[in-house]
Amino acid sequence: MPVVTYLEAIRQALFDEMARDERVFVMGEDIGAYGGAFKVTEGLIEAYGDKRVIDAPISEQAIVGSAIGASYMGMRPVCEIQFIDFIACCFDMLTNFAATSRYRNGVGVPIVVRGPCGGGVGGGPFHSLNPEAFFLNTPGLKMVEPSTAYDAKGLLKAAIRDDDPVLYFEHKFLYRRIKDEVPDDDYIVPIGKAAVRREGTDLSIITFGAMVYTALEAAGTLAEQGVEAEVIDLRSLAPLDRDTILDSVAKTSRVLLLHEATLTGGIGGELAAIIGEHAFGYLDAPIMRLASLDAPVPYAPSLETAFLPGVTRVVEAAKKLVQY
């Protein structure tokens, strides 16, 4: 199988799905002639023309609103938010219209809203957001965030084929840093299934996105000290794969919840509640959460490094858990 970058895997998924289904089209700011801010959509307009690769005005609300309307007419739009921070501009369209459509009138909204999330690149507070917790409280929205190129392609294909709205978060730090084998043949990664990235017996580190690599590096350091950490990559944030989460906790009896978004109100709180409610009897230590500081994302690289949960903090937290 060819080895491709995380970014190229996303582009392949878009090419494949547009070739497979003529109802699929893409829409966003600078995605056509320019090829997107990160060049994810480069080449699409040459292949499919400006009727299916639409350069939109700078209005996220208009992009998502028109995509919902197009989906009602039988199309399957893929919207790019140039930086996922600006998904806040179309919050109303997503939560009050797309998410509730099937409940209100029995009509699904088969749209994908995708865009680059996350820090680690010196983007500052307007270009480094991790917004998953904003939407976790909204029934009707699915959310995914892949950590590998294989998953990036397979999850985007699954999202485009889904009959309900899917938010697809792609971590910009991974775009050109992560490469792995990606089949040319058609495949999907099912929404709602987590992956065990490393087997372990002493504690579970449950995470997703770029933090998977922070967790794996920390797990390698811990292994040198005789501590075997299991690393769970959620992949799907809504719905969550409760079975994989609870099975891992039952196996290790200790759990560290790791995410890049700020701590207060983050997805780690929901995961802790699920584990506390359904796996309390397996726990040999308190559930621990580790996340970014409760502050806007700093611009200065040194401050951003201190803000994000790094390997050292993960190792220290894991040691506290196993020594409890």
Residue 220: its pLDDT value, please?
98
Structure tokens at 289: 């959460």
Q: Please report the pLDDT score of residue 322 as a whole number.
A: 97
Residue 3 forms beta bridges with which residues? 181
Catalytically active residues are: 127
The pLDDT, as a whole number, for residue 31 is 98
**Residue 220 neighbours by CB under 8 Å, 6+ apart:** none
pLDDT at 17: 98
For 112, left (φ over 0), alpha (ψ -120 to 50), or beta? beta
The domains located in the chain, with CATH, are 3-181 (3.40.50.970), 195-323 (3.40.50.920)
First-to-last alpha carbon distance for the chain, in angstroms, is 45
Distances (CA, A) of 290 to 80, 226, 253, 294, 313: 30, 22, 17, 11, 8
Task: Check: CB of residue 147 under 8 Å from CB of residue 259.
Answer: no
Q: Are 223 and 217 in contact (CB under 8 A)?
A: no
Mean pLDDT per 10-residue section of the chain, whose length is 324 residues: 96 98 98 97 97 97 97 98 97 97 96 98 96 97 98 98 98 97 97 98 98 98 98 98 98 98 98 98 98 97 96 98 96
Rounded CA separation 200/181 (Å): 24
Torsion-angle region of 292 (φ positive above 0: left; ψ -120 to 50: alpha; else: beta): beta
Q: Provide the pLDDT for residue 285.
A: 97
The total of other beta-carbon atoms located within 10 Å of residue 205's CB is 33
- 3-class SS of residue 228: coil
φ, ψ for residue 314, nearest 5 deg: -65, -45
Give the separation between CA 81 and CA 168, rounded to whole angstroms: 10
Question: How many Å separate Cα 218 from the centre of its chain?
Answer: 21
